[in-house]
Amino acid sequence: MIRGLLITFCCMLCCTVTTFAHERFKLMEEPITKSDREHWSFQPIQRPELPIVKNTKWSRTPVDRFILATLESKDLQPAHEAERTTLIRRLYFDVTGLPPTPEEIDRFLADDSADAYERLVDRLLTSQHYGERWAQHWLDLARFAETDGYEHDKLRPDAWKYRDWVIKALNADMPYDQFVRWQLAGDVIAPENPEAKTATAFCLSGPDMPDINSQEERKHTLLNEMTSTIGSVFMALQMGCAQCHDHKYDPISTIDFYRMRAFFDPAVKLARNQSVTMLASAGTAGTPSHVMLRGDWRQPGPKVQPAFLRVANLKELNVDAKDTKQQRLEFARWLTQAEHPLTSRVIVNRIWQHHFGRGLSASPSDFGTMGELPTHPELLDWLSAELIASGWKQKSLHRLILTSSVYRQAGRPAVDSAQNIIEWKKSLKVDPDGALLSRFPRQRLDAEVIRDAMLAISGKLSDQTGGRGVMPPLPRELRATLLKDQWKTSANVDDHYRRSIYVFARRNLRYPLFDVFDRPDANSSCSRRGNSTTAPQSLLMLNSESSLKCAQELAGFIWDKFGSDSDRQVTLLFRRALGRYPTQIEQTELTAFLKSQRRLLSSEKRPASQLLLPLTDAKIKDPYAGAALTDLCLAILNTSEFIYVD
């Protein structure tokens, strides 16, 4: 009896508190001032005039004029042009995420036509591998994975369809404004097109807990995470803290946050114990949206109507549609209007970042007060205006950057004259981190690219595309940490050699090589990966089963070509792994290594079954010579030159 009265009292108290918060609590909101909009990222985008430069012969595209003008103002000169072998390797990895073959390098070096480089750029941008490479950048932002995360990390059976849609959209050069609109309201724009609905998986690609007791809490968490992600990915604004309180630095109020969330509130339909991956189309408004006081789902405050973010709403547009589906479409259109101050700037900055390792603003998902100022603000605006003028075509922007002189700069000093050395030392002193691009910044390959390159140079990389994520073998001790059946090694061995973008993306477990080389965990949007240098990286590259097998397969490829001819073995190894011929010193030393390593292995008198032999169908008469070649292949896979690109 007493227990029942207590429960009734608590329920009445809870209802009273909720009613009070709902009906009586009033939030104050500071107006957006002229000073707020004076911040560089909220200024209207205007195409500036091309700057005047002294060195009129260096520039190939308008991009160069802006970079060179800044360098000249610092009394710096750009670095010399990189060698063609360096350029083709840089370009292949950048655009396709794969190394060029020796035949592709020879063809480029033999082409002495004036537009040989430009035609190579065009060919790579039309390759299917372009979409596979650049989709991974977007999937980092979309916090893409094929599982829910949290304790049970349950499978999302159709999540892979979103990954395939991104690849297809990029390969087709879908205009970026359409690319954005489909991910926010594709189900409304093209309701008859299943791919348009698949695109909305962007909104719900983050972690989820389908079995949580309160589905109301689950929806609140999903909506807040989605709103924060949309703000950071498309507008580079860190809106997440505004779910609890007004932003401490940027002109974004709590009410701003929940007004924007209200666009998506009706489109999140949940069922207990079921993953939700796409937005659900909804008609007329249902349950009203509220500000959640202090971000607490149990404390709904004042009602709010969908409205555009005030500080970025330069034309002061209002939401007209009453249909909730159309309201979401209105938001997508507002975000991709040519007059929006952020959308084009943000994607231009991201594309620049992936070409040069650093954005024009070094905080790609924070253009607010605490973000980094652009090093070249006029260039950022010029490129943003150019993107819009091109019909939001990303490949057009890529080509503009890739064919520029600044992209073709060397990342190493030229030692052919004392003046070049002086200029290089001045570059290091005045531009120590390379932010002004007085030289090309050396970059480490991403985790997925390292794995793909290892498979490609050994001749094993599969060309199969699309479909469900595949599961290559994992070390036994790692599988033991998972719940039952969370990693079923793909029965089809060919799947083990597919590109890394098709490797199953489990939120609670990253493939070992991806883990040590800084792939994000997909629990939140990642705009810029870490770039660590750690002992586990070397340990994995030297000792893991996958690295050893790759070295054996590469050795087998070389053995099939040249047998036990050590000179030709060294040459082909360099050409496939490093994209160049060995120097005379390298050729001599590594040929000598093969001989000395063979003698060492032979002196140990180990049976062939205990040697790392090349994986080949050909008969190896001298197993010690074969094992020595495998050792050399493993060593080359562990060189900085293989892991980094100049």
Vertex 453, ends 447 and 454: CA angle to 5°? 95
Q: Which residue has the tokens 């390797």?
A: 89
What value does the mean pLDDT of the chain take?
Answer: 93
Residue 14 has what pLDDT? 42
Does 376 reside within a domain?
no
Instruction: Choose between 148 and 285: higher pLDDT.
Output: 148
Q: How far apart are CA 442 and CA 424, in angstroms?
A: 15
Show which of 314, 341, 368 is a domain's final residue: 341
CB 597 within 8 A of CB 569: no
Tally Cβ neighbours within 10 Å of residue 159.
Answer: 23
Tally Cβ neighbours within 10 Å of residue 33.
Answer: 10
Does 413 reside within a domain?
no
Does 595 reside within a domain?
yes
pLDDT in tens, 363-416: 999 999 999 999 999 999 999 999 999 999 999 999 999 999 999 999 998 877
pLDDT in tens, 152-198: 999 999 999 999 999 999 999 999 999 999 999 999 999 999 999 99
Show which of 302, 323, 341 is a domain's final residue: 341
The tokens for 96 are 């396709």
Number of domains in the chain: 2
Q: φ and ψ at 40, to 5 degrees?
A: -55, -35
Show which of 317, 341, 365 is a domain's final residue: 341
State the pLDDT confidence band at 449, using cuts at 50, 70 and 90: very high
Does 208 reside within a domain?
yes
The helix, strand and coil proportions of the chain, stated in percent and rounded to the nearest 5, come to 50, 5, 45
Residue 73 has pLDDT above 80, yes or no: yes
CB 506 within 8 A of CB 470: no
Q: Which residue has the tokens 């093969």?
A: 594
Range of the domain at 560: 545-645
State the pLDDT confidence band at 3, using cuts at 50, 70 and 90: very low
What are the E-state strand segments in 255-321?
Answer: 289-292, 300-304
The tokens for 264 are 């998506």
pLDDT in tens, 105-161: 999 999 999 999 999 999 999 999 999 999 999 999 999 999 999 989 999 999 999
Q: How far apart are CA 623 and CA 389, in angstroms?
A: 62
Does 351 reside within a domain?
no
What three-state secondary structure class fits 506? strand
Does 83 reside within a domain?
no
**Residue of 342, 377, 349, 351 lying closest to 363 (CA atoms):** 349
Q: How far apart are CA 605 and CA 199, in angstroms?
A: 60
Residue 469 has pLDDT above 80, yes or no: yes
State the pLDDT confidence band at 8, using cuts at 50, 70 and 90: very low
Does 503 reside within a domain?
no
Does 62 reside within a domain?
no
